[in-house]
């Protein structure tokens, strides 16, 4: 495939945009390529400026669960945009989307809409601190909760360590109240919470930002129990996994109720929407009802609300989650079969998300993800791209399925994976 136009655009972008991209993973640095620039997307396919067509497993990093460019959603956006694209005042669509989310997720009493997942998690943590009157926050290595200062940390040594900044520009004092534990390490959490001075534990109930990593049996239940015992709020960050691991998210899949949950991606249908929701007594601490301040000029933007609302209406009406799972079942089984007969490859999936890891056993935390063969992943990415399949350009990312993916699409993935395994000489003797 020729990608001359993408190459030229990237060279131009480098002169005007830091790194040539507006979000780092798009730079394709981890796979040793220049990024491809996209001209359009439709259904399960995405098209670059050079006219190349790719079967898309990125799906704008999760939101496009209906596939790209759904006609019903487009019509709704157009109707609303014709009345005005921003009011800076309340609109009926905010109420309708709030009611829709509440009807789908019965543990949510109230919800506040923002413009991104980062804003949602930032708000949830501020709210937890204000409600509990505690300062400390506990997060897990490999779980990404947006780029706000308090959570861009990495672990030190030992158990229940304080985080240190993982990027320049964040003062150490800013993260001195952030604790980190390894994902799936419940003992670490118990140690960190024993003094009852932690405001909240924030976790991706199914990790997606180090690839798809599953919670071990009893981990989430244990978090709920220790949070209850210590007066700590439990926050499920479902910005990525919301409506993707189950039609009722982690609540439906694991039968565990968080105190607060954050959402994004699917809830906006591709528009910039985030949200934090939860119990009434906690949510009412947000201004103007309560003392914890949060605001946003474009929060509840009518076009974004319309996009999210129509997406969720179609999702529920057409039983989208189950439709995807019906076709994914055989696909997952075939990939698992290949991995069982192959050296150095393992597989994790939950709901409509999956990751192929280049290590012998599926990882259970970031330390194990870091043991993957990243060079081999890079070769796999390039091989798939050259054969018309776009994967997330990082071993640390989840792949996504949409209701538009067909059996033939997934068979193509299987065919190419089988070819790659043979090409790399990975078959078991």
Q: Which residues are catalytic?
A: 144, 237, 265
Locate tokens 């919670």: which residue? 215
For the chain, count helices (H), then strands (E): 13, 17
3-state secondary structure of 279: coil
CA dihedral 349→352→358→364, nearest 10 degrees, is -40
Residues contacting residue 307 through CB under 8 Å, at least 6 positions apart: 73, 76, 77, 268, 269, 270, 271, 273
CA dihedral 244→250→251→255, nearest 10 degrees, is 130
Dihedral sign, Cα of residue 285, residue 288, residue 294, residue 296:
positive
| DSSP one-letter string for 257-269 | --SEEEE-GGGGB
Which is nearest to 164 in space by CA: 174, 154, 150?
A: 154
User: Whole-angstrom Cα distance, residue 93 to residue 336?
Assistant: 43
The CB-based long-range contact list for 122-125 (8 Å cut-off, 24+ gap) reads 122/146, 122/148, 122/150, 123/262, 123/276, 123/286, 123/294, 124/200, 124/202, 124/235, 124/237, 124/260, 124/262, 124/276, 125/150, 125/151, 125/199, 125/200, 125/202, 125/235
Residues contacting residue 360 through CB under 8 Å, at least 6 positions apart: 343, 344, 345, 346
DSSP H or E segment with residue 85: none
* Cis peptide bond upstream of 191, omega within 30: no
User: Whole-angstrom Cα distance, residue 422 to residue 429?
Assistant: 12
């Amino acid at each position: 495939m020729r990608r001359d136009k993408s190459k030229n655009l990237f060279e131009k972008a480098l002169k005007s945009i830091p790194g040539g991209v507006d979000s780092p993973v798009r730079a394709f640095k981890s796979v040793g390529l220049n990024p491809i620039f996209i001209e359009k997307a439709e259904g399960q396919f995405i098209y670059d400026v050079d006219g190349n067509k790719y079967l898309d497993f990125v799906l704008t990093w999760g939101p496009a669960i209906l596939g790209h460019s759904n006609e019903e959603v487009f019509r709704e956006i157009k109707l609303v945009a014709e009345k005005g694209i921003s009011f800076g005042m309340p609109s009926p669509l905010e109420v309708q989307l709030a009611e829709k989310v509440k009807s789908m997720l019965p543990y949510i009493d109230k919800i506040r809409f923002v413009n991104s997942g980062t804003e949602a998690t930032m708000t949830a943590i501020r709210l937890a601190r204000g409600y509990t009157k505690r300062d400390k926050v506990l997060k897990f290595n490999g779980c990404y909760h947006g780029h706000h200062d308090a959570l861009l940390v990495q672990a030190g040594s030992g158990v229940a360590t304080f985080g240190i900044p993982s990027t320049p520009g964040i003062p150490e004092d800013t993260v001195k109240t952030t604790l980190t534990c390894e994902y799936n390490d419940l003992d670490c959490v118990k140690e960190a919470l024993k003094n009852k001075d932690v405001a909240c534990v924030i976790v991706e109930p199914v990790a997606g930002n180090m690839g798809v990593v599953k919670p071990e049996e009893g981990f989430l239940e244990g978090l709920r129990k220790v949070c209850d015992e210590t007066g700590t709020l439990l926050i499920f960050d479902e910005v990525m996994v919301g409506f993707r691991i189950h039609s009722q998210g982690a609540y439906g899949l694991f039968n565990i109720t968080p105190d607060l949950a954050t959402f994004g991606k699917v809830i906006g249908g591709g528009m910039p929407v985030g949200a934090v929701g939860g119990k009434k007594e906690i949510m009412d601490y947000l201004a103007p009802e309560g003392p914890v301040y949060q605001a946003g000029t474009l929060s509840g933007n009518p076009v974004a609300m319309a996009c999210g609302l129509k997406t969720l209406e179609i999702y529920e009406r057409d039983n989208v989650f189950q439709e995807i799972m019906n076709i994914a079942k055989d696909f997952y089984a075939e990939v698992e079969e290949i991995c069982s007969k192959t050296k150095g490859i393992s597989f994790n999936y939950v709901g409509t998300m999956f990751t192929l890891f280049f290590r012998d056993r599926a990882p259970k935390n970031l330390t194990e993800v870091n043991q993957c063969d990243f060079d081999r992943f890079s070769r796999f990415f390039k091989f798939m791209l050259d054969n018309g399949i776009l994967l997330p350009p990082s071993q640390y990312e989840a792949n996504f399925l949409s209701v538009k993916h067909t059996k033939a699409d997934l068979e193509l993935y299987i065919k190419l994976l089988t070819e790659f395994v043979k090409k790399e000489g990975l078959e078991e003797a």
